Chains A and B, each alone.
Chain A
Amino acid sequence: MEKKKLVVIGNGMAGARTVEEILARGGGAQFDITMFGEEPTGNYNRILLSNVLNGSYKEDEIFLNPLSWYEENNVRLLAGKRASGLLRRAKLVYGEDGIPEHYDKLIIATGSRAFIPQMEGTYMPDGSLKPGVFVFRSLDDCRQIAEWARGKHSAAVIGGGLLGLEAARGLQNFGLDVHVVHIGSHLMPQQLDPGAGDILRKSMESLGIKVHLKKNTTTIIGPENVLGLAFADGGNLECDMVIISAGIRANWEIAAGCGLTVERGIVVDDQMRCADDPDIYAVGECAQHRGHMYGLVAPLWEQAKVLADHITGKNTRAAYHGSKVATKLKVMGVEVASMGIVEPQLPEDEVVQFSEPKRGTYKKLIIRDGRLVGGILLGDISKAAYLIQTFDRNTPLPEERLHLLFDIGDPPKQVTFAEMSTNTQVCNCNGVSKGALIACVNSGKRSAKAVMDATRAGMGCGSCKSMVAEIVEWACGGETEEDPSVHYYVPGVPLTKPELIRAITERELKSVSAVFDYLAGGKEDAASKPGLASLLKTLWKGEYEDEKDARFINERIHANIQKDGTFSVVPQIPGGITSPAQLRRIAFVAEKYHVPLVKLTGGQRIDLLGIRKDDLPKVWHDLDMPSGYAYGKSYRTCKSCVGSDFCRFGLGDSISLALKIEKEFQGFDSPHKMKLATAGCPRNCSEAMVKDLGAVAVEGGQWEIYIGGAAGSSIRKGDVLCKADTHEDVLMYMGRFIQYYRENAKYLERTHGFVERIGIEKIRSIVIEDSEGIAERLDREIAESKAAYKDPWKDAWLPENDNQFASVLPILQ
């Protein structure tokens, strides 16, 4: 296939990101890509320029795509070359040097530039800015400012917006006396109301920045270089340098020059195409979509995705519908977050407000129809993340408004389904609204499962499943039908778990394909495979015939898949206990394989994220540590606290118990993951009471065993199963419960659901009092599973076949 020519004008945040998105969709095979970049470098994170100026980042730390990236990805970057003209009929873009580039598809991502208001004395006769006058947009500006600032005494920033304040704070870093000169009556007028602006002014002044409001600068004084500013009211201000930060203007000239529609920016449709030419796209700050221009990066990420989907043909129906914007000020010592409108606009808009000027705290929410349409947080922005999300998703707010502004103990109340509006998003993973669920019920689906299958609601993280079921029931008027398959262990084999276990053991079915052959009429069902594999492994242990295709990719290659198709590797670190030698090996591996992220997990272990599939066996080999099973529906790990060896409160040896637990249950397949913990006393530092299984040391040398705890998407304190006298007893009772759970839980039923369904009394009578006479058998099964343990990372030495870990197979002619 002949590759098409894609030319991109502008190598900034939008241009480079769009190219990344295109490459991620296989666009490298469709296009030869050439980029014009006026700046001589690769693409850097412009947002962080404020941090470079204030000294918290070095220049080379802000690069997103260094020059090597372009080479590695076969992108031809004309660095330092400005595109100066465009001939649409001939499909040519001209560089400043007059050399044309032909394109089949063109993307304009020229961003914007600083707006310079009319002021006398801004320019020298040759048209250049007067020495000492700067704008703040590029790395080059940043360097020039830093160079000039050295040895000077005072600086003025014209413009009291977000950028101006960040620049002012940055200039203080050079030991300058810093002034902010603002034409309006309060700071950050785009994001704040006067009340908040006033508090912000005080906060800035307390940092030593002098703020001058309602000052219209008419002249930059000084014949050769900057000496001061003169204002319309007759006043003036001495200073050695000026940074103009009075807004931005889109760079649309190249588009207007060839007849494309331009208003304030280059006008694009929902696919980011120019109105008049389907082969030309515009993206980022230079683009105008449905009348809106965006000066923040979040919207342009969304735009880049849609553009890439469309241009590569991956999803020609992708559409950009505009973005809601929220901002935060990046000035150390001053916390500001803002979203949406700053003043009520309609009579029915409701305002919730709190102000404590002395402490610099101000909070204001504007609510319309029970939803957030605007918000300002100053001083304390602890609720910002929640509010921005609510604002962004347009989810209804709880009736109880106080909780919106403050964390006060108890969680907000549930809204009832009737009062919940139809477009409330119920499933946040797959974007399914209450209305979509009702429509699905009305179309004839009368069971929760049928509705979930049809809408995919509840099929993401699963945390909304019970709400989906309740809404379905409510929408059916309480008359839901039962889908018989909800009783099956897996959807593709029409048997309940006990029936299935019986059939499997009677016929000695040891592989997933054998189960399909004998119990499902030979019909394979993809979604049923992992559940069957897990059960067969539990029943047959070492005799189970492993068929890799039956396993979810994680269990097929013993690592957790990531959004970009790479994998994460978590070695076994029982109880969080490691050693310098292990840490050295981990460090060695992280460097050798260029691991992009090394992270301490919530499970007291170390996660190496972003590893290429092909490297996995090598990584395991070099680590020489057993798998931590962080990917499996299986026993995961046992957390632990310091316990009696070191802690002044420790009642029991939680560390050595955790190590024994790990040895006992490592690698066990189970209906869902099992996370364990041991705590040396009821202070519960390792969170043992909210684990699938936990052991907590109590006074009197005993251990309390908790089961069915949860602190993930559901939160539940575990039930006490029993007290045990010794570590060995803890292992025995835990083992019995684990085996009972493995045999009786539905696939993907966590212990908290299982314990609630069966009831703690019944479990206790079976596991502790042996009411069914199966305790001995459960113990035996556990011992056999333990004996069948094999570290899957030994696959590194003995792969299933040569290409188990190959991301691409070579073509052998």
Chain B
Amino acid sequence: MTAHSETGHSGTQQGATNLMTEIKLGPAANIPAGQGRVYEVEGERIAVFRTRGGDVYAVQAECPHRGGPLADGLLGGTTLICPLHSLKFDIKTGAALFGDCGLKTFPVAVDASGQVVLLR
């Protein structure tokens, strides 16, 4: 399984790991392949997805359009379609594939014991 932390300003990439805390969200297997699930981390709702390829990504839980529940969306590769009005996003970068309002992403990875780990 590969791990990803793709926010561009993630702590690891700037060598500021010591400022970041690792939060274990539970076994990756809790997220069925190709789907997303929501976690509440320090009061913030985060949608974590596991692609059929086994990679994990984390983005804000609510769609910027009208608050659609993104974890209930359809995922193909890293393209996510919101269940309410079908806006599309790339969960790897957070970019909006239509329109201009993208998603907040969070660095996340699967550790050796198969746990999903969120860096904050």
B35 CB within 8 Å of chain A: yes
A-B contact pairs, 20 of them (CB 8 A): A26-B45, A314-B64, A314-B67, A317-B101, A430-B85, A460-B85, A523-B77, A525-B79, A526-B76, A526-B79, A529-B74, A530-B74, A552-B74, A552-B83, A556-B72, A561-B69, A563-B84, A807-B38, A811-B23, A811-B24
Complex-state Cα separation, A430 to B84, whole angstroms: 12
Residues 564-588 (chain A) with a chain B CB within 8 angstroms: 564-565
CB nearest neighbor in B for A314: B64
A647 CB within 8 Å of chain B: no
Determine whether the beta carbon of A565 is less than 8 Å from that of B64. Answer: no
Complex-state Cα separation, A261 to B114, whole angstroms: 58
A513 CB within 8 Å of chain B: yes
Complex-state Cα separation, A801 to B35, whole angstroms: 13
CB nearest neighbor in A for B24: A813
B55 to chain A, nearest CB (A): 12
Complex-state Cα separation, A492 to B81, whole angstroms: 14
Determine whether the beta carbon of B68 is less than 8 Å from that of A565. Answer: yes
Which 5 residue pairs spanning A and B have beta carbons closest together? A549-B34, A526-B76, A29-B43, A524-B76, A553-B72
A315 CB within 8 Å of chain B: yes
Determine whether the beta carbon of B38 is less than 8 Å from that of A524. Answer: no
Write out the residue numbers on chain B whose beta carbons fall within 8 Å of the beta carbon of A459: 86
- With A315-B64, A524-B77 already in contact, the answer to whether A812 and B26 are too (CB < 8 A) is yes
Write out the residue numbers on chain B whose beta carbons fall within 8 Å of the beta carbon of A26: 44-45, 60-62
B111 to chain A, nearest CB (A): 13
- With A26-B62, A549-B34, A813-B24 already in contact, the answer to whether A524 and B42 are too (CB < 8 A) is no
- With A549-B34, A803-B30 already in contact, the answer to whether A561 and B40 are too (CB < 8 A) is no
User: For chains A and B in complex, what number of residue pairs have CB atoms within 8 angstroms?
Assistant: 115
Write out the residue numbers on chain B whose beta carbons fall within 8 Å of the beta carbon of A553: 72-74, 83
CB nearest neighbor in A for B27: A812
Determine whether the beta carbon of A527 is less than 8 Å from that of B35. Answer: no
Write out the residue numbers on chain B whose beta carbons fall within 8 Å of the beta carbon of A324: none
| Interchain CB contact (< 8 A) of B25 among A492, A564, A811 | A811
B43 to chain A, nearest CB (A): 4
Complex-state Cα separation, A556 to B26, whole angstroms: 23
Determine whether the beta carbon of A549 is less than 8 Å from that of B33. Answer: yes
CB nearest neighbor in B for A808: B38
- With A565-B68, A809-B39 already in contact, the answer to whether A549 and B32 are too (CB < 8 A) is yes
B41 CB within 8 Å of chain A: yes
Complex-state Cα separation, A315 to B45, whole angstroms: 17
Write out the residue numbers on chain A whose beta carbons fall within 8 Å of the beta carbon of B45: 26, 29, 808
Write out the residue numbers on chain A whose beta carbons fall within 8 Å of the beta carbon of B67: 24-25, 314, 564-565
Write out the residue numbers on chain B whose beta carbons fall within 8 Å of the beta carbon of A530: 74
Write out the residue numbers on chain B whose beta carbons fall within 8 Å of the beta carbon of A565: 67-69, 72
Q: Using A527-B81, A809-B37 as known contacts, list a sample of 13 further A-B pairs with CB atoms less than 8 Å apart, ordered by residue number in A.
A: A1-B42, A1-B43, A24-B67, A492-B76, A526-B79, A526-B80, A530-B74, A553-B83, A556-B72, A565-B67, A801-B32, A806-B37, A809-B38
Determine whether the beta carbon of B74 is less than 8 Å from that of A527. Answer: yes
B75 CB within 8 Å of chain A: yes
CB nearest neighbor in B for A512: B34
Write out the residue numbers on chain A whose beta carbons fall within 8 Å of the beta carbon of B72: 553, 556, 561, 565
Complex-state Cα separation, A556 to B76, whole angstroms: 15
